[in-house]
Amino acid sequence: MTRLRIKVRGRVQGVGFRPFVFNLARSLNLRGCVRNTSGGVVIEIAGQRAGDFIERLRKEHPARSVIESIESEPVTGAEGIPERGPEGFRIADSEDDGGTTPVVPDLSICDECLSELLDPSNRRHLHPFINCTDCGPRYSITTGLPYDRRNTTMAGFRMCNECGREYRDPEDRRFHAQANACHCCGPRLWFHTVNRSFRQYDSGDPVTSAVKVLKAGGIVALKGLGGFHIACDAEDPDAVALLRKRKQRPRKPFAVMAPDVDTVRRFCLVTEDDAGLMLSHRRPIVLLKKRPGCRLPEEVAPGVDLLGFMLPYTPLHYLLFYHPSGKPNFRCLVMTSGNLPGEPILHDNGTAVEGLSDIADAFLLHDREIFTRVDDSVVRADFVIRRSRGYVPDAIPLGETGPAVLGVGADLKNTFTLTRENLAIPSQHIGDMENLETMQFFEETLDKLTSLYRVRPVALAYDAHPGYHTTRWAEAQSLEGISVQHHHAHVASVMAEAGLKADVIGIALDGSGYGSDGTIWGSEFLVAGLRGFERLCSFRSLPLPGGETAIREPWRIAAAWIREAAGGDALQYMEKTGFLERYGEERINEVLQVAALREFTPRSSGAGRLFDAVAAIIGITGTNTYEAEAATALESRIVEGVSEYYPFETRPTEPMTVDFSAALAALLEDIASPIPAPVVSARFHNTVVTAVTDVAKRLHRLTGIRDVVISGGVFQNLYIRQRVVGRLTAAGLRVHCNRLMPPNDANISLGQAYILREMLKQ
């Protein structure tokens, strides 16, 4: 008889792994036990078919599990499983062995649970917290390891006899489902109104009451999986406009939830890959192009041709659509984050009711605590834009093992990244570090992830910008730290994902980042490695009259740029193109006076500012009410089938400079002609693509480096991203870009951690 002790590491807790092992062992007539430990899963087996067991374990493990390693060792009879006895195979009590194991992201409701939820004959019919070993909350409710009910926020709910029977039954799919519950023993849902005019809709049934409020044009805040959502009927323009007014969100697009993919197809163009993403267990918000003639109110996503759609991922979401009739109550609902402007998503009942009562008319609340708040993830095509629910806390493999470090990230779209052994563990989306509440969320999440993964960083890395909140926080810590230049970190984030360590040609295009010369960078062509970088090229800088004000009002940048390029003919060009009429001669002259004063007009080579200025010149928008609004609107105006681009000049300065002055002159002539704005937008985008690829190929010839890394918020623009990748690949270069992390500043922490970790290894 073979006796083995097997240690399995990877994502093997919270995914039905022990029940799978139990049933596999019994099918092979093996005796022994399986247990969770804080370091993974330990299996002890005895029998003739131990070899078959290990082979099938590798091949047949549960779909949501990820096996990183399987280690086995023989066990002697004296210390191991007895040769005979009545116990057979069992699931033993969990142990804390001092190790750590990956925590599973929250999983969307599975098809079997959904079927039970809507089945009047099932005992869990309409139970808002139905789940099994294949679905339900994980990361958001986990308080510690190993993953057992006692280490989740379900610890306070004692299973009833029937749920307990399922939990102990090897034939049941809820065998050892830690969040198992039903109407009798599980969390409780209730309805709460704050607007008196909607109290008449309180029917006694929480979901029915909420549906009535939504149908009457009201706004409902509901406690979800990782925090609160704010919902209204997406097809009711008055309700959407009211939500915008109350949430102080004038133009930023709202996320929308639909009951199924076919409904989404009524409003958007959906590829098979898009549908696969929406139907996956991650259930992110997927950015999709609007169908021509899309009938959703313009108020849902004003000024852009993209809509962010997601499918329901909790039982409560499905109940809002299908209860009580079984037929959809709505074709789609706005489902936006439940937060105050600029603050993190809210997640506990008291704070949410207090904070959101000026926005919502009613609340759907429950008493299952959210231990870790997690916002919805956002995906476009094959890359992530916001990495959060469904993706976090999945780790990114780094190959070789290394020291534990912390990258604290940037101030916009902040995430932090911890490393442990051979893994990088990025946090969920934290937000913009502009207030105390977001900094508290940062610290709260850092405490939880370091505790869960038992990481003790030996050093930290932070952005070189001396004014960043994250920089000041890092400098106040007792750990040794290093600063990492912003665009170097962008490039290094892709290197971490791709496992690159040798020098690369790095292209980082974004809005702004603190340069090593103290100026504002943002269109950087680097030869970069993990020990440093050399800046070989950038776009010619643009004036920012009024500094930060110019970023919020990019028509100011446009006015100053036109004056620089056209000199004394500037006002004539402004008049011919309608720019003068749009913004007023008096205001423009005031801005031009400010532009002449160096102390009030910093310069920036940020590529994002170039897009902002062109959007203002074309007349699409002259303001940014949210980050990258103008650039997103400019991309939305592109017409397909245009191949022309505007002239530009690459000047042999040190570093080289790409000057778009000639492009501006040609663009102004087009507008005055007048050439339609969509054609002008396409030609401008083609100009940027051509400039980027020309410089990259020139740097390849100069250095001999074939690996090209692209990163930064500009590469969220699908038109630019696809064409740059396609042209450089066709030129024989190896192109790498962010896929696991967003291209925007959310990837900064990974790049910081990767650079610091490799420095310490050396």
Q: Region 314-343: what's the mean pLDDT?
A: 95
Tokens, residue 482? 């290093």
Instruction: Please check whether residue 135 is in contact with residue 107, taking contact to mean a CB–CB distance below 8 angstroms.
Output: yes
Bond preceding residue 102 cis, omega within 30 of 0: no
- CA distance linking residue 550 with residue 609, whole number of Å: 9
**Domains within the chain, CATH numbers bracketed:** 2-91 (3.30.70.100), 189-366 (3.90.870.40), 395-541+605-614+626-662+671-762 (3.30.420.40)
Residue 598's DSSP bridge partners are: none
Q: Count of residues for the chain?
A: 762
Confidence of residue 618 (pLDDT cuts 50, 70, 90): very high
Quote the mean pLDDT of the chain.
Answer: 95
- CA distance linking residue 405 with residue 427, whole number of Å: 14
Q: What is the pLDDT of residues 169-211, one digit of tens each?
A: 988 999 999 999 999 998 999 999 999 999 999 999 999 999 9
Q: What per-residue confidence (pLDDT) applies to 567?
A: 87
Residue percentage of the chain with pLDDT more than 90:
92
- CA distance linking residue 356 with residue 339, whole number of Å: 7
Q: What per-residue confidence (pLDDT) applies to 81?
A: 60
Tokens, residue 328? 């959809």
Q: What is the pLDDT of residues 225-237, one digit of tens each?
A: 999 999 999 999 9
Instruction: Please check whether residue 261 is in contact with residue 350, taking contact to mean a CB–CB distance below 8 angstroms.
Output: no
Has residue 82 got a pLDDT over 60? no
> Which residue in 450, 510, 495 sits closest to 100, CA to CA?
450
Has residue 710 got a pLDDT over 80? yes
- CA distance linking residue 614 with residue 634, whole number of Å: 8
Q: What is the pLDDT of residues 335-368, one digit of tens each?
A: 999 999 889 999 999 999 999 999 999 999 999 9
Q: Region 397-410: what's the mean pLDDT?
A: 96
Instruction: Please check whether residue 435 is in contact with residue 342, taking contact to mean a CB–CB distance below 8 angstroms.
Output: yes
Which secondary structure element, helix H or strand E, spans residue 709, and what is its range?
Answer: strand 707-711
Listed in order, strand segments (DSSP E) in 485-602 are 504-514, 520-528, 533-539, 542-543
Instruction: Please check whether residue 731 is in contact with residue 693, taking contact to mean a CB–CB distance below 8 angstroms.
Output: yes
Within 122-177, residue ranges assigned H as helices are: 161-168
Name residues whose C-beta falls within 8 Å of residue 443's C-beta, 6 or more positions apart in sequence.
none
- Give me the sign of the Cα torsion angle 342, 343, 347, 349: negative
Has residue 709 got a pLDDT over 70? yes
Q: Region 145-155: what's the mean pLDDT?
A: 94
Which secondary structure element, helix H or strand E, spans residue 34, and what is its range?
Answer: strand 31-37
Name residues whose C-beta falls within 8 Å of residue 156's C-beta, 6 or more positions apart in sequence.
none
Has residue 8 got a pLDDT over 80? yes
| Residue in the block written with tokens 């095509």 | 381
Q: What per-residue confidence (pLDDT) applies to 591?
A: 96
- CA distance linking residue 436 with residue 461, whole number of Å: 21
Name residues whose C-beta falls within 8 Å of residue 294's C-beta, 6 or more positions apart in sequence.
267, 268, 307
Q: What is the pLDDT of residues 252-270, one digit of tens each?
A: 999 999 999 999 999 999 9
Q: What per-residue confidence (pLDDT) applies to 85?
A: 46
- CA distance linking residue 528 with residue 473, whole number of Å: 27
> Which residue in 698, 685, 692 sits closest to 645, CA to CA?
685
Name residues whose C-beta falls within 8 Å of residue 598's C-beta, 6 or more positions apart in sequence.
none
Tokens, residue 293? 């003639």
Q: What per-residue confidence (pLDDT) applies to 75?
A: 85
> Which residue in 36, 55, 46, 94 sits closest to 74, CA to CA?
46
- CA distance linking residue 276 with residue 273, whole number of Å: 5
Q: What per-residue confidence (pLDDT) applies to 87?
A: 63
Has residue 80 got a pLDDT over 60? no
For 646, the 3-state DSSP assignment is coil
- CA distance linking residue 29 with residue 420, whole number of Å: 38
Tokens, residue 392? 């976090």
Q: What per-residue confidence (pLDDT) applies to 636?
A: 96
Q: What is the pLDDT of residues 626-657, one digit of tens each?
A: 999 999 999 999 999 999 999 999 999 999 99
Has residue 715 got a pLDDT over 70? yes
Name residues whose C-beta falls within 8 Å of residue 220's C-beta, 6 or more positions apart in sequence.
210, 213, 214, 230, 231, 232, 360, 361, 362, 363, 364
